[in-house]
Amino acid sequence: MAEEHGVGHTAKRRTESEGMEDLEAVNLAADWADISQGLRKDLGHQLHSQWIKPIVLGGFDKAGGLLDLYLPTEFSANWVKDRFADRLSLAWKIARSEVRQVRISVHPGRRKLPEISLGGEMRRAANDGGDGSMITISASPFGESGLSAPVGLDPSLTFAAFVTGETNVLACNAAQRMAATEQPQFSPLYIKAATGQGKTHLLHAIGHAYLGQHPRARIFYCSAERFMIEFVQALKAGQMMEFKGRLRSFDLLLVDDIQFIIGKAAAQEELLYTIDALLAEGKRLVFAADRAPQALDGVEPRLLSRLSMGLVADIAAADIELRRKILESKLTRFAPLEVPEDVIGFLARTITRNVRELVGGLNKLIAYAQLTGQQVSLQLAEEQLTDILSANRRRITIDEIQRTVCHFYRIDRSEMSSKRRARAVVRPRQVAMYLSKVLTPRSYPEIGRKFGGRDHSTVIHAVRLIEDLRQRDADMDGDVRSLLRQLES
């Protein structure tokens, strides 16, 4: 019996250990997905697909803080190590503080170089075993088109996949107008939004929609950082005329993260001339940045003038209604897996910094549930998303809600706890109860105690009433939306 008991404990410990390993793998994979997405935005679709996408996660030694990243060939491992090692290491340290060192190497057992196409002349490179393999290396740093990523659009980032709400509808409408068949009334379009709010999505969506209308159109998408790299490479290679000619031959130019062109005088001048040349020919230009044109320090006035001469469209932080809509739209990918309504509400209330984190939190939660066979629940969300939740948590208190509602409706703060039944104070009190349930984790009895010791059934009635009024009364819905924006800002 003792022996059997010992075997049982050993098996249990092994199962628990395997479960912990599975969880660690899920968390690493989720972090890598976020890092990879950020690098795709920085480097452009083609560079990302060529060098970053093939990376496979290896083991992570927690004690030593060493994470292994594997590539399929010695050539690709060396290339990534030489050019992206510092960037990868920094990204991992930011995403996961326990990662202190990143090691990039060829995947064990895969030491031979396959035939890789990079465009340009064919050169022979020997692998570490000594036999020659054919590797295609670009004779020009720009490839055949003169620029390394002539389109580089993500197929998943379309207008159909973009969820609209009050905070982004202007930018979305302007982007659709830019992609329409008829000539837009404004150019360039400048989309301003904080990180993770959808500006890059709209750039890609414009490209897809424009190609749908003009299948033979020439489109170029890049980040400002990528533009500068291409510019410097052309300068060093003595190919500036080719660079300029190719750049100005595009029908649609999409430049992301324009704030990173700060302080680069020569690149700014070239971009200025390119904008003038394309506008003179009726071409379309779209820029995106995390700040308004006037807030771009280190950019010469002439370029600032060009960037702001069309339409500057803001995307504000997604409000709670839009966050909920985004989550619901993503759930269709996971059918028939069910995510309870209280989980959706919880994620929409608590992950407020940006849309990218919101969707990443949902993906991580569902991946964990699928890999461990657990049901998606509020408890599971609270347990597995602690890092995301803690980063987003700005605790809104019932006191803060009461102050804001009283100021909005111009009533005295004491009315939140008074017994008065006049409609002028009852309705604001009910709105405050509703917002307390939506924006805080407090229970109905706890909320009731903060409103003059009212019974929990009174709070439930208020919440249901305001929910119903929002559906039927546009003024009430507008009041609640305005209050939500004030409280979440």
Domain boundaries, the chain: 2-106, 169-315, 320-392, 398-488
Residue 69 has pLDDT above 70, yes or no: yes
Highest mean pLDDT among 17-31, 140-154, 196-210: 196-210
Averaged pLDDT, 68-96: 82
Mean pLDDT of the chain: 80
- Per the DSSP assignment, residues forming a β-bridge with 223 are 256
Residue 368's pLDDT band (cuts 50, 70, 90): confident
pLDDT at 115: 30
pLDDT band at residue 131 using 50, 70 and 90 as cut-offs: very low
Structure tokens at 389: 């939740």
Q: What are 377-400's pLDDT values in tens digits?
A: 888 888 888 777 766 666 788 999
Residue keyed to tokens 């993906």: 363
pLDDT at 138: 26
Contact (CB, 8 A) for 126 and 132: yes
Mean pLDDT of 95-104: 85
Question: Which has the minimum average pLDDT: 79-88, 179-188, 423-432?
Answer: 79-88
Q: At 201, is the pLDDT very low, low, confident or very high (cuts 50, 70, 90)?
A: very high
Domain 169-315 matching CATH 3.40.50.300: the answer reads yes
pLDDT of residue 109: 56
The pLDDT value given to residue 6: 52
The reply to whether 320-392 and 398-488 are identical in fold is no
pTM summary value: 0.56
Q: Superfamily for 398-488?
A: DnaA protein, C-terminal DNA-binding domain (1.10.1750.10)
Q: How confident is the model at residue 254 (pLDDT cuts 50, 70, 90)?
A: very high
Fold of 2-106: GMP Synthetase; Chain A, domain 3 (3.30.300)
pLDDT: which is higher, 143 or 286: 286
Q: Residue 287 — very low, low, confident or very high, per pLDDT cuts 50/70/90?
A: very high
What are the tens digits of pLDDT across the range 1-33? Answer: 444 455 455 444 444 455 455 566 677 887 888
Comparing CA positions, the residue from 121, 109, 31 lying closest to residue 70 is 109
Residue bearing tokens 């590539």: 71
Q: Is the pLDDT of residue 133 over 70?
A: no
| Residues 115, 430: Cα–Cα separation, whole Å | 69
> Which of the residue ranges 177-186, 328-337, 440-449 would you say has the lowest mean pLDDT?
328-337
- Higher-pLDDT residue of 148 and 101 is 101
Contact 343, 381 (CB under 8 A): yes
Q: Burial of 23 by CB count in 10 Å (0-12 exposed, 13-18 middle, 19+ buried)?
A: middle
Instruction: Tell me whether residue 241 is exposed, middle or buried, using C-beta atoms within 10 angstroms of its C-beta: 0 to 12, 13 to 18, 19 or more.
Output: exposed
The answer to whether the bond into 336 is cis (omega within 30° of 0) is yes
pLDDT confidence of residue 394? 63
d(C-alpha 436, C-alpha 395), whole Å: 12
Task: Please tell me the class of the 320-392 domain.
Answer: mainly alpha
pLDDT of residue 114: 33
CA dihedral 276, 277, 281, 283 (to 10 degrees): -70
Distance CA(169)–CA(172), nearest Å, equals 5
pLDDT at 118: 26
Going edge to edge, which strands form the sheet with 56-61? 56-61, 66-71, 101-106
Virtual torsion, Cα 253, 259, 263, 264, nearest 10 deg: -20
Inform me whether the pLDDT recorded for 110 exceeds 60: no
Tokens of 373: 């066979």
Q: What is the pLDDT of residue 386?
A: 79
User: From residue 224, how far is each of 42, 199, 254, 289, 468 by CA, in Å?
Assistant: 9, 14, 10, 10, 48
Average pLDDT on 272-280 reads 91
Would you place residue 204 in the very low, low, confident or very high pLDDT band (cuts 50, 70, 90)? very high
What does the angle CA 393 – CA 296 – CA 198 come to, to the nearest 5 degrees? 45
Q: What's the burial of 389, exposed, middle or buried (CB within 10 Å: 0-12/13-18/19+)?
A: middle
Question: Which residue has 């009895």 as its token pair?
Answer: 445
> What pLDDT does residue 129 have?
32
327-336 pLDDT per residue, tens: 998 887 776 7
pLDDT at 111: 41
Work out the average pLDDT over 51-58: 87
